[in-house]
Structure 1
Amino acid sequence: MNSILRWTAVAAAALAVAGCSFIPTYERPVAPVANSFPYGGANAGAPATELNWRQFFTDAHLRELIAMALANNRDLRIAVLNIQQARATYDIRRADQLPTVNVQGQISRAPNIANIESTTYSVGLGLASWEIDFFGRVRSLSEVALNQYLATEEGRNAAQATLVASVANAWLAVAADEELLTLTQDTLKTREESLRLTRLRFENGASSEIDTRQAQSLYESARVTLAQLQRQRALDLNALALLLGTPVPTDYRVGVATDQLQLPDLPAGVPAEVLAKRPDVRQAEQVLIAANANIGAARAAFFPRISLTAAAGVASSELNNLFQGGAFGYTVTPALVLPIFDAGRNTANLESAKVGRELALAQYEKAIQAAFRDVADALAGRATYGDQLAAQARVAEAEGARYRLARLRYENGVASYLDLLDAQRSLFAAQQGLVQTRLARLQNQVQLYRSLGGGWTE
């Protein structure tokens, strides 16, 4: 028994002293993007990565929905299960670096020299074939598994950031649907009353049929818009239910107008620093590090593999004397395997590992570039939506004044009914545009928060 432990200690010491690694030195590639974001500005405030989603989204109802989605969403659940699977794979690879010791018991019955059958009982400890990792092959494979595990963790973080932003955007869309429905229903009532009055005037000879038909067309157009908005709200509720992982009642109401919602502004920062903190970019980098470590394992395959198998125990012909009077014995069997001819298998594996690293590098650079565009698009939106919203508000105000004046002119016989209908149509479109622009601006702020690396921390 002591001999096995002594051999194990010697092998471990040799591994610690003589062990080496053929993994290439990893250096983070230079980001293939510009040194600054377009429309970046110099806004004050906390970076997105320092604001968890509960701090960024202040509405209590929205935070409740996000928490529900994080608990129930199936995509996020799949990401968590992938982490657990990758962790188990890493644990297996890490266990390969340590020896496996088993208890071995045996009963054998065979004839002796005198051709008399005898029974032998034996029990002991056995050291399974353990590869002494002189050239770092097993450690390289463990490094590969570790970085694949870390990549799945980053993938889960990226999935959470996307889920948080998606729930927020879906909720904002439902809020805008409610506003547009209220606006359309009010407009429909106004146009219904106008149609009723126009018909009365026509029946009394005070107006022509063309005025009645124009009023009817405007009224039916409002009904068309109402049906479209009802369908759009149902679709948005369905999308929200899928994100939450649970049904949403058809009578669900946000109860908050888009002009009452405010989200924090965020500084853009330096691309190289900001993008490196995004979970999807970090996931791509972990895949690249794993591919780099795989080269070390492929290189080590060209060198000898040294393994150790050992066993020690006692044996006796009588079971009751096994642990007292049994004979002690042990075996130690080192083995060396040196590849001489493998038909180019190791060379092909090494070449495959190198190509795999180049592929992972290209995917990492693509992730950086896609993330840069993601941020740049959101910054372009932030730089322009403010002016667009202010202009749209002025359009709605002007169209409201125009409608009031057109109505006064029509009632006093100065303007035609066509002028009044045109003013009604333009006012409705301007009011719709105002709600839609507010929604687009809010969703762009959510997109900026996610693209700058926010949303994946609690």
Structure 2
Amino acid sequence: MTALRPLLLAGTLALAGCSLAPKTVLPAPPVPQSWPVGDAYLLQSEAALPILSYRSVFTDPRLQALAEQALANNRDLRVAYANVATARAQARVSRAGQFPEIGISAGAGYADSGSNSAGNGGGGDFSLRGGITAFELDLFGRLANAAEADRNSALATEAASRTVRIALISDLAQAWATYGADRDLLAIAQDTATNARENVRLTKARLDGGVAPRTDLRQAEQILATAEDAIAAQTSAIAQDENLIRLLVGGDVDRALLPAGLAEVTPAIVSLPAGVSSQILLRRPDVIEAEYRLRAANADIGVARARLFPTISLTGLLGFASDALGSLFDSGSFGWSAGGDAAATIFDAGGRRAGVAVTEAQRDAALAGYEGAIQTAFREVADALAVQGTISERVRAAAANTEAAADTARLTDARYKGGVDSFLASLDAQRSLYTARRSEITTQLLLVNTRIALFRALGGDSGSGNSTP
């Protein structure tokens, strides 16, 4: 029997190292190896895209200062960091379950038999015990797979926090750009209102002189009222933009950090290279999160399979006991004990096997979610590239339209004052100019937002999300 003990011990250790979890095999990315190329896309060199930092994309020091403030104070990001801390702690809890639990206890007692009894009338006893209070032999990898599942869940949660970080920076840049666009739209409305007031004054004078009909005055007043309504609407929009930036930043905002118009925004948000392999999507935080969710689901299968087998636990105790404190540590006071128990379920109506089926179905769902995350990421990048491929032409056309509308308005107004054209023609030209100027601002804002969308879609700044406070 003594000769068999080493063999039994070696067998136990070998079983403790086995795992019933299936090997995680990541599928090939279910997207093409390159971005779509066509009339709506710009064909560029297939150079590898560097790791993106928001400072390399959003170059204005004012926007960078707001981003730093947001990363320090935004409440949604604080919640994400707290979730990461929770997941990491839970992973440590699961890891601790793989090791023996060691405890210690001490006791003391005293009994008084009364003065009339024989003997000295009383006595005390003392004890000190310590040892392994609980330890489960992880023969089938249940504890190891549970720890692995929680570790992967923690990594997935950390990747999710980086997604929050990217979204925060992107939303802040978009709000900053929208503020600049709304400042431009307010200036357009104010210019239109100024011209409309002058037209109302001149038309009223012509009406008083019997040269113009009352309809001309009413039409001029309509243009003025429309411009004044636009001024009020844009003033509200600017205030709402400030409120959004304040929310994203997590505190008060210095107005000196806000742009005066899109002329300050467009060069501050640089364009990104587009010709890169779609494999870069594997670096996106949401794709990384989906991968770790898949790995965690795979480990859960091992946990469920291990529950099909018996559970074996060991305990051991070392201690001292004495009826006198002074002789507590004498050799004769030392004692020890060891024991173990095994438990196995005989019948559970297929519950544990159903548990395995549940985890396998969850693994299949996680696999589909992983592939879906990659496909969604590919679509978002491809959509941004589709806009980027044609946006410069749209900006050029919008600028040309504004220039032509301004010249038309100037010539039509001169012809009206010269008695050649009607006042209605002059008003139509003014409306066209107003619409063209607003459309140009909208197109320029689309250019900026496309650059921000591409930064977000490519997982920009995802490597900087580990600096939790």
Q: Give the TM-score taking structure 1 as reference length.
A: 0.91
Quote the Cα distance in structure 1 between the aligned partners of 2:318 and 2:91: 31
SS of aligned partner of 1:24 = coil
Quote the Cα distance in structure 2 between the aligned partners of 1:325 and 1:293: 48
2:101 alignment counterpart = 100
What displacement does 1:372 show? 1.8
RMSD: 2.6
The correspondence for 2:321, drawn from 295, 315, 320, is 315
Quote the Cα distance in structure 2 between the aligned partners of 1:11 and 1:350: 30
The correspondence for 1:160, drawn from 162, 165, 168, is 165
Tell me the alpha carbon deviations over residues 64-88 of structure 1, each in whole angstroms, 9 at most, x when there is no partner: 1111111111111111010011011
The correspondence for 2:247, drawn from 230, 242, 246, is 242
Note if 1:131 corresponds to 2:129.
no
The correspondence for 1:291, drawn from 276, 280, 297, is 297
Tell me the alpha carbon deviations over residues 79-101 of structure 1, each in whole angstroms, 9 at most, x when there is no partner: 10100110110000011111121
What displacement does 1:184 show? 1.2
Quote the Cα distance in structure 1 between the aligned partners of 2:207 and 2:388: 51
Note if 1:369 corresponds to 2:375.
yes
The correspondence for 1:145, drawn from 128, 143, 150, is 150
Tell me the alpha carbon deviations over residues 121-162 of structure 1, each in whole angstroms, 9 at most, x when there is no partner: 111322021011121110000000000000000000001011
Note if 1:22 corresponds to 2:20.
yes
Alpha-carbon contact 1:184-1:225 (below 8 Å) kept: yes
Quote the Cα distance in structure 2 between the aligned partners of 1:12 and 1:237: 69
Quote the Cα distance in structure 1 between the aligned partners of 2:16 and 2:364: 30
SS of aligned partner of 1:50 = coil
Quote the Cα distance in structure 1 between the aligned partners of 2:354 and 2:134: 27
Figure out how many residues of one structure are paired with residues of the other and give that number: 448
SS of aligned partner of 1:312 = strand
Structure 2 gap ranges (5+): 465-469
What displacement does 1:37 show? 2.4
Tell me the alpha carbon deviations over residues 331-361 of structure 1, each in whole angstroms, 9 at most, x when there is no partner: 1112222332233221121111111111212
Alpha-carbon contact 2:307-2:352 (below 8 Å) kept: yes
What displacement does 1:456 show? 3.1
The correspondence for 2:422, drawn from 416, 430, 438, is 416
Alpha-carbon contact 2:16-2:141 (below 8 Å) kept: no
Query: Which stretch of the first structure deviates more once superposed, 234-243 or 313-322?
Result: 234-243
How does 1:2-401 map onto structure 2 within 5 Å? Answer: 14-15=12-13, 18-39=16-37, 41-43=42-44, 50-108=51-109, 119-248=124-253, 253-258=258-263, 261-262=266-267, 263-271=270-278, 273-324=279-330, 327-401=333-407
Quote the Cα distance in structure 2 between the aligned partners of 1:339 and 1:49: 55
Amino acid at match of 2:436: A
Q: Give the TM-score taking structure 2 as reference length.
A: 0.89
1:3 alignment counterpart = none
Note if 1:440 corresponds to 2:446.
yes
Quote the Cα distance in structure 2 between the aligned partners of 1:12 and 1:226: 83
Alpha-carbon contact 2:75-2:250 (below 8 Å) kept: yes
Quote the Cα distance in structure 2 between the aligned partners of 1:243 and 1:427: 35
What displacement does 1:289 show? 0.6
How does 1:426-437 map onto structure 2 within 5 Å? Answer: 426-437=432-443
Quote the Cα distance in structure 2 between the aligned partners of 1:48 and 1:452: 9
SS of aligned partner of 1:359 = helix
Quote the Cα distance in structure 2 between the aligned partners of 1:53 and 1:330: 63
Percent of residue pairs bearing the same amino acid type: 38
Amino acid at match of 2:324: E
What displacement does 1:399 show? 0.7
**Residues 108 and 329 (structure 1), Cα distance of their counterparts in 2 relative to 1, 3 Å cut:** same
Quote the Cα distance in structure 2 between the aligned partners of 1:191 and 1:51: 48
**Residues 49 and 15 (structure 1), Cα distance of their counterparts in 2 relative to 1, 3 Å cut:** farther
**Residues 384 and 415 (structure 1), Cα distance of their counterparts in 2 relative to 1, 3 Å cut:** same
What displacement does 1:440 show? 1.0
Alpha-carbon contact 1:120-1:317 (below 8 Å) kept: yes
Amino acid at match of 1:53: Y
Tell me the alpha carbon deviations over residues 357-384 of structure 1, each in whole angstroms, 9 at most, x when there is no partner: 1121222222222212211211111112
**Residues 254 and 286 (structure 1), Cα distance of their counterparts in 2 relative to 1, 3 Å cut:** same
Structure 1 gap ranges (5+): 1-6
